[in-house]
Amino acid sequence: MSDDFDRIVAVLQETINEDTRAAWGEEAFQRWVAPPNRGALENADGSSLLRGTCGDSMAIFLRFEGERVGAASFETDGCGPSVVCGSIAAEMAVGRTAEEILDISGEEVLARAGQIPEDHHHCAFLAASSLHEAVNSHMHPGPKDG
């Protein structure tokens, strides 16, 4: 019984993977399976947490080294495309100045994502907005506790 259930789950998962790979392309699929830069960043000196109109959240963490971002990461509770786009947005921030990051648009994130379905294009714009918000928090830090 348990073996049958496990086999059914494995077949379903493989079907989902194949459908996703066909719809998104290999690069976005691989990024969804193993997203680089996922998870909170220790000692971040810029961060954000935005909720999109879809109800999903996207966090971006930035650590600056001098004028440029030395490390960046993201976290999301959203859909697969939001994972792909958050990973891309964090990657695009590395090596750039605050001003250069503010120039990164949702369209650019979307273009790098590849074949994200049209009804998920907003996920790229959520990632870009969250990236901008993280820069704003770096440029205009709030009052410190204590």
Binding site for ligand FES (CB under 6 A): 52, 54, 56, 78-79, 81-82, 120, 123, 126
Rounded Cα–Cα distance for residues 106 and 109 (Å)? 5
Rounded Cα–Cα distance for residues 90 and 108 (Å)? 13
| Complex with ligand FES: residue 79 or 109, whichever CB lies closer | 79
Can you list the alpha helix ranges (DSSP code H) found in the chain?
2-24, 26-33, 80-93, 98-102, 106-113, 121-139
Q: How far is the CB of 80 from ligand FES (least distance, A)?
A: 8
Q: Which residues pair with 59 in a beta bridge?
A: 49, 75
Q: How far is the CB of 79 from ligand FES (least distance, A)?
A: 4
| Complex with ligand FES: residue 98 or 124, whichever CB lies closer | 124
Rounded Cα–Cα distance for residues 68 and 72 (Å)? 11
| Complex with ligand FES: residue 98 or 116, whichever CB lies closer | 116
Q: How far is the CB of 58 from ligand FES (least distance, A)?
A: 7
